[in-house]
Structure formats: C-alpha cells, structure tokens
Chain A
Amino acid sequence: MTALLSIQGLELAYGKIAAVKGIDLEVGEGQVVCLIGANGSGKTTTLRGISGLLKPRGGRVVFAGTDITGMAPHRIARLGLVQVPEGRQIFATMTVAENLRMGGYLVEDGERQRRLDEVLELFPRLAERKTQTAGLLSGGEQQMLAMGRAMIAGPRIVLLDEPSMGLSPIMVEQIFAIIELLKRQGKTILLVEQNAQLALDIADHAYVLETGRIRLSGPAAEVAGDAAVLHAYLGG
C-alpha cells in the first residue's frame, strides 16, 4: 500500500534561514501520525510546506498520487488536503456559521448544509453560538470552530497544527476527545503538537523533529518508550 501523503527530502527556508533540512515522512490512509518536537524545531514550517503556504526549496510532496510540490494552496485544498492552522486563524469579524460555511467553500450547497449540521451536532457549543461573532469566542471554542471549519471541507487528510496551544487543561482534554473521535471515524490526521505525551497517546505513528531534521520515528508506542524522547521532549 502506498501512503496517502508522502514527503521525501523536504527542505524549507525563510529567506536564507533553513528551517527544515530534508525530512522524509509518510501518512497512510486512516492513520493518525504525529510530528513532535521542541519550539522552533520546524513542525509548523513542515505543515506550511505541505499545504502550499511556503514553497519548498527542495524535495517532493506527493498527496494521493499527485505531486503537489510548489502547488498553490487553493489547488492543494481542492485535492482534499486541509490544514487547521496554528493559532486557529478563525475569521474574527464573521459569525460562527459564516466561518463554518467558509470551510465548505468548495462544497456544493446541499452537501455543505448537511455537513454543517453534522459539525454543529458534534460541537454543541458552536451550535449555541451560531450567530455570534467568532472573535468573541473563547480560545477553546475557537479551536473547535477551526476544526469544524476544516471538517466541512470533507478532507481526505487533516493537518492539525498545535490544537492544544494556549488552552486550559479541561479544554485540551475536550479537543483531544474530538481528535480521538475523528480517529475512530477513520479520518487521516497529521498532528503537530508540542505536548508530546498527548500526541503520542493518540497517534499510530510518530516522528520527532529536532532543529529541522527527523531525529527519531516509529510506532507511537515505541517512540514513547524511548528514554531520550522522554528526557528531551517530555521533560521526564
């Protein structure tokens, strides 16, 4: 079986500063794969390189059999690759419902409404605040909105960037319960997290990134057992 998303020798840079220095990574259909590492190790940059927001300097990104290296982000989105960006990036001046409909920008009306109802059922908090301006939501609600917005697109793969960032422990638990649910529904997820313990608990496979290079990879349980990881990334 070939992977749904396959990255070979990906190199990314901001101007002259190399941020990702040739990494290989694979995500199989229905898998939850996590990419963990310290602040500034290149996790978010990697996602930006995959979704087209940052043009790769070298290497290849292949998604569902299509070479998407250097493709414009809106064309990559059309193939079913959807990113939930770091810091939620919700449209603060729009209502909750408008944000969700924007997520389904490429989906035709009837199907979009059906998925919207599904998402509102999954996130009752959003249903209650449907007509509210999204900028007034709490951080956790904004994260739910960002995830719901991605799901309405009907993605073949979701790239989740730091879903736990800045949230209270209770909120983090709720967000990860939703990721767990998506996993059980068979959704393919590439999860970037600073909270390595949480990410390793939920993932099938894990990659550990250190200053732009893959330091360690393998089944999540094995990576979690590695003392070096525990020491370097879990603070154990």
Chain B
Amino acid sequence: MLAQQLFNALVLGSVHALFALGFTLTFGVLRVINLLYGFYVAAGAFAALVAVQSLGLGLWAAGAFGVVVAGLVAVVCDFLVLTPLRRAKAPELSSLIVTLGGVLLMNSLMQIVFGAEVRRFPARLLGQDAVTIGPLVVAPIQLVIIATVFVLVALLFWFMERTRLGTAIRAVAERPDTAALMGVNVGLVVAGVSFLSAALSATAGILIGLNFNAVHPYMGEPMMLRGFAIIIIGGLGDIRGALVAGLALGFLEVMTAGYVSSNLKEAVAFTALILGLWLRPNGLFGRASGKRA
C-alpha cells in the first residue's frame, strides 16, 4: 500500500514539477506573472488530441505537435500582451491583471471551439492494461510520465547550466541591459523563453490528459493554483526549488488523499504555501544561493 502510494506520488509530483518549472522560468526571466501559462496546459492537450484524432498521429508525434503548437501560441501571446508591458516597465500587478483577462478570453475561445465536455485520448494510444511489478500496479502511462519528466528536467538543467544560450537566459533574467551589451539579442531570448516555458506547460497538460484520461478547456486552472504554491515555496525564479517543491506537493497530495481524505487534497497546496512562507520566506534554497532562472 505505502509503496503504491509513493509510486503514485512520484508520478503526480513529476507532473507538478514539470508544470512549475516552466512557470518559474517565465517569472524569473520575463519578470511577469503570466496567468496565460495555465492556458497552455489545455492548449497543448487539445492540440495533441486533434493531432491524434484528425491527423492520425501516434503518441509521440502528437505530443510533439501539441507542444510546438502551444509554444508558438505563447510566443505570439507574449509578444502581443507582455512585451508592451515589459517595455513600459509596468509593475508586476499589471501583468497579473492583463493575463487574467487573457486567460479568461482564451479559455472561453477554447470552449467555443471544442465545447466544454471532457474529451479523451483514444484507448489504442497506450496499452491501457496495468502491469504488476513486485508490490506495484503500474499503468504504462505512469512510466511514460516518469521517463518523460526525468529526461526533460535533466535536459533543462543541462541547457540552463552548461550551454551558451542557457547562460544567456540566466544573464537576461538578472540584467537584461548588461546581457544586451555582451551581444545577447534580448528580444529573441525572451521569445525563446516564452516558447520553452509554454512547451513545458503543454507537456504537463498532455501527460495529465493521458494520465486522468480527460482533456477539457479548464484543465489548466487547478494546475495554476498548485503552480503558484510551488513556485512561491520553491522561490520565485528558482528552477531547483520548483523541482523539489513540485515533487513534495505531489507527495503531500497523494498521502493526504490516501491516508486522510481525498476531500482535503485541494487544501494541501495552500497549507503548504502558508507553512512555506512562514518557515522559509525566501524560498526553499533562499535568495542568495539559489540558481535562479
């Protein structure tokens, strides 16, 4: 029982962490609170669904398609909505309000186009039969989730820490003007980060859609609530903190649902947020030592 709960927690926590990584990246580099970020969960999942149903693509191709579509939508949205705010050096609250409007608009558009009912990926996409491994009952999608998240997180860390472009992204996050003086095209980096973060959000959306076998226009909303809790607990802009806090929140949610009551699951994120702010107001790894994106 406990082993199964821990395994489920790992699956859920991985998705939370993946989602939060993109969210914290957006905040850290673009210096905006982007509520549109939650929309890319549904955008990616629907794009992948369309790719499966209308284009007849397989799991991986459809996933890649969904991720790219959401990324491109994000580049356009950020350019139209956020770049003017950033240029005017508007306070963070304005980005919050503007993207709140943006996400309401986009969610409604999704509902008009796709309808509000819950849709499903066809069963043929994955072998749906769970297998028993020792004490664990494991669905194939759970293994896909863990493997995908593990590979993407490793790639993201390698990219941010070891590559020229990743270092440039961190430089832009800290001092955009100075980065420009070193020859970094700040506008291009900003667009790249918009794409990258939305791609992470969309990947999380596709994995959630597959895991719970449900895709609907508002599937990003509950993720945003968790996302806020995770990036605040992890430290705003801190990618390592988002990873740890995301996994921890998944663990807490599964344990609460399993041993206390599943009704309390939603309350976990906020209890953790309050405790986190109380005990470590600068984030898990503090402000000075954290690797901020």
Q: What residues of chain A have their CB less than 8 Å away from a CB belonging to chain B?
A: 51-53, 72-74, 77-78, 82-83, 85, 89, 91-94, 98, 101-103, 105-106, 133, 135, 149, 153
Contact = CB atoms under 8 A, between A and B. Distances in A.
Interface in B152-179: 164, 167-168, 170-171, 174-175, 177-179
B280 interface: no
Interface in B269-293: 288-292
Which size class do B's interface residues fall under? Answer: 20 to 34
A91 B183 contact: no
A74 B178 contact: no
B167 A102 contact: yes
Contact of A78 (B170, B171, B179, B183): B183
Contacts of B179: 102
B interface SS class: helix
Contact of B178 (A78, A89, A98): A89
A91 B184 CA distance: 14
B180 interface: yes
A89 B175 contact: yes
Contacts of A74: 180, 183-186
A156 to B, nearest CB: 13
B151 interface: no
Contact of A77 (B170, B180, B291): B180
A102 B168 contact: yes
B182 interface: yes
Contacts of A89: 175, 177-178
27 contacts: A52-B180, A53-B177, A53-B180, A72-B180, A73-B181, A74-B180, A77-B182, A78-B183, A85-B178, A85-B181, A89-B178, A91-B170, A91-B171, A91-B178, A92-B174, A93-B174, A93-B291, A93-B292, A94-B170, A101-B164, A102-B182, A103-B182, A105-B182, A105-B184, A106-B182, A133-B289, A149-B182
A98 B161 CA distance: 9
